[in-house]
Each structure stands twice: as C-alpha cells, then as structure tokens.
Amino acid sequence: MRSRKKFKSENPIGTALIESLDQEGRGVAHVDGKAIFIRGALPNETVTYQSTRIKSSYEFAETKSVLKASNLRVTPKCPHFGMCGGCALQHLDFSAQVAAKQRLLENDLHHIGKVKPESLLPPIYGPAWGYRHKARLRVKYVAKKDRVLVGFNEKSTPFVADMNSCAVLPPRISALITPLQEMIVQMSIRDAIPQIELAVGEHAVVLVFRVMETPDAKDEALFKAFADVFDVQVWTQTKGLDTVQPFYPLDGAKLSYSLPEFDLTYPFNPTEFTQVNPHINQVMLRRAMQLLSPQAGEKIADFFCGLGNFTLPIARSGATVLGMEGLEVLVKRARESAALNGLAEQVEFAEADLFDMTPELLQDLGHFDKWLIDPPRDGAMALVSALPNDASFGPERMVYVSCNPATLARDAGILVNEKGYRMVAAGVINMFPHTSHVESIALFER
C-alpha cells in the first residue's frame, strides 16, 4: 500500500492508467478505488505521478513521467507551458481538445441535467494561437534579484510565472512582456504595481496599470516613453473600477470592436466585459442568430445582455428587443452602442438583478416570442425557474449561451424536465483554446 502522508516532498511515486479528462484538463485515474486527478496526463496514457494533495476520497497529483504516451500528445508551443497556469492543454492535439470539451458538455448534460440534445452542433473553433485580446497580467517585484516578473500565475500557486512570452496573446502583446519588466524595475513604485489589465481593440491597445502608490516624475516619464515607443495607451487604476482613467496619451483612439456581418461597432472601456476572442465572437454571433432566427415584428428578450453583443444583431433583423443586465455601467454602454448604430428605436435596455428573478417579476415583463440567455458562470437558474411549469407563458424558442457546462446542464434539466421544453441542439464553442474552459450554445423549443 502507498503511504498516505501529506508531506508533498515525501509523497511516493505511483503509476496509473488515465481514463479521461476532468473539467480542469487533468487526467483522471483510479488507484485502489480512489480517484486521482493528474495534471499533465492524457486519456489512455500510462504515467507515473506524485500526489500534491491527499484527501480521503481523492488526490491531486503531477505527472512525473509518461510511460506510454497517447498518440494525441503533442509538443507544447509555449516554452513556459507546465509552469505557467494560463494554459492547461497545450500538450493535447488541438482538434482533440475540442472533442474533449464536447464530451465534457455531453457528460454534464447527462449526469447533471438528465437531458440529451436531439442533435449535436458542429463545434465552433478558430485560430489556435494569438487569440486572447483581453487579459489580466500579474506583476511582482523580486527584491532579492532586483527584477520584475510580469505574467500569469504559476499553475496551482499564487506566485507569478517567470515568463518572457505568451503564445495565446497576440504576438504584438506577447512581445511587450520583457519591455514591461524592464520598465517597471526602474520605477520608484515597482513594488506597488500588482497587475496590468490589457485590452486590445481594432484601433487601440490599452494597458491599465494598478498603482498602489502615486507615480513620481520619473515614473510618469517612463510610462510616457513606453506608450510612445510601443504605440499603446497607458491608463491607471488607483482603487476601485471608478478610478480607472487614461494617463497618456489623453487623446488616444477609443477601444472598439466590430461585427461586419451585422454592420455594428461597439466602443468599450478596457475594464468592461467583452469576449476575449474576437474571431470566435463573430462566428458565435452567426450561430446564435441562425438558431434564434429573429424576425421582423417579433418581440425578443436578451437576458444578461452586457453591452449588447447579442442584442444589436437581433435588432438588425427588425425585431424589437429588450436587453436586461445587472451592471449599470454596461447598460449605459449598451444604450450608447444602440444609438451609435442607429438602433435606439428598436432596443430597450434595463438594469435588473436576474439572479433574483421571480415568477411575478417575469410576468410583469410581458410575453416574448424568443429569449437569448448569456449568463455568467453561475448560470440562469432563477430566470428559468420563474417560468410556469405548464408552458402557458414563455418563449417558443430559446438560445442559451453558456460559459459553464455544469450550470447549463442544471438549467437545461429545469427547462426540459419541468418547464415543457425540448433541447433541440447543443454544441461547444472553443473560445479559449489550450485551456480547460468550455463555452457552449444550446437551442430549446417549447
């Protein structure tokens, strides 16, 4: 029997046959009836592993060596893979990543929601590298070495990874990591900058520096020189999100993204939520509109609408749309985008806490022909639960875009098993290649 001591450095080496992948991209094995979740291992591989966390019913572990490799194992492109926590699946063939996410979605629908879609949609995927147009980078000044680290966290630790490039960031942004390190180490506030939030628009790149102390004249000069040399905008944030503001240049181009297929342009601020993968966003919008099939004269609700990413394409069909969102700043931005795109007469936006929806509040909104739901990871349980069980009130068709297959499965179970809907189709959207994140889309009809 293997020792169950919890001293990580003394945990023994075990051998396991990997059965599947879990939601975090770890290999799943069973040893002596106990589940072992092994980072770096792939299905059908035989590996040696060392546990890093031991509990009575499961263990987390790291792969020590691969004794028999999967034919889907590939060489990671990024030299920092395995140390940086930004990616979990670079060692798995790209197409196999998408297939694994599809299986995860199907398993969650079956085991959590007790539902099965009538058909599976073709997966949506796009460029494998350089796709991430929004990110939050950690910053750490290491006094003993008099150097600054800029990057993502190491895997499974709170420490900043020692990296000088990132393959999932656009190449231009990846190339800024070393210059950022070299600039910040020269600053008086080098140990008072915990993070940089980056946002890439079609006509601008913004770096938001979280500054815990006031920059001095030298710091300000360094910021300005960096912005000029690398053609970026430097913004600062001293406290909450309401303190985010441009520092230099003050007259830079505005962040925006467009949806040419729908003749739409969306301005946004760097800390406002937008999809990180603009290519996939366009394909996802096309799929959502095909499934929803909005028609002129229809009344459609877009719940968790954000800044109107789905709302305005729906309105382009001639339908009348109500967009509901819990964050006031996004509601304001959505109204601005509707006016900018000439759709203010067809769209109404309202602020509402959709996690506190009740049957009475839903009835007060009135009847809608169709719904689009795009909730955060917590899902839309209160919203779908507010529908009556007899299907006397509710949309004929519903498109649900999800960033968490577990909560989609839970809500699908409510819609199908309690509310009188069919799950017509479902499929995955590979919004975050090389990570374990699963985005998906589903169609329900009454």
Question: Could you give the residue ranges of the DSSP H alpha helices within 15-117?
Answer: 94-108
List the helix and strand counts (H, then E) for the chain.
10, 22
Could you please report the per-residue DSSP string of 420-433? --EEEEEEEE-SST
Distance from chain centroid for Cα 8: 32
The 10 Å Cβ neighbour count of residue 100 is: 22
Cα separation of 274 and 268, whole Å? 8
Burial class (CB in 10 A: 0-12, 13-18, 19+), 304: buried
> CA separation (Å) from 101 to 26, 70, 96, 302?
13, 17, 9, 26
The 10 Å Cβ neighbour count of residue 363 is: 12
Annotation marks residue 305 as catalytic: no
Cα separation of 82 and 433, whole Å? 16
User: Long-range contact list for 169-176, CB < 8 A, 24+ apart?
Assistant: 169/130, 169/132, 169/135, 170/130, 170/131, 170/132, 170/133, 170/200, 171/130, 172/205, 173/135, 173/198, 173/200, 173/205, 174/130, 176/207, 176/230, 176/232
Cα separation of 438 and 408, whole Å? 11
Residues in CB range of 292: below 8 A, 6 or more apart: 300, 314, 370, 372, 397, 399
Binding residues for S-adenosyl-L-methionine, by number, are: 275, 304, 309, 325, 353, 374
Rg (CA), the chain: 24
Handedness of CA 77, 82, 83, 87 (dihedral sign): positive
Instruction: Read off the DSSP letter of residue 329.
Output: H
Cα separation of 159 and 196, whole Å? 15
Structure tokens at 366: 């009135």
Catalytic residue among 38, 208, 403, 414: 403
* Nearest C-alpha neighbor of 194 from the set 213, 177, 172: 213
Cα separation of 424 and 294, whole Å? 17
β-bridge pairing 299-303 and 370-373: parallel
* Nearest C-alpha neighbor of 317 from the set 288, 279, 340, 339: 288
Cα separation of 235 and 218, whole Å? 16
User: Looking at the annotation, which residues are catalytic?
Assistant: 403
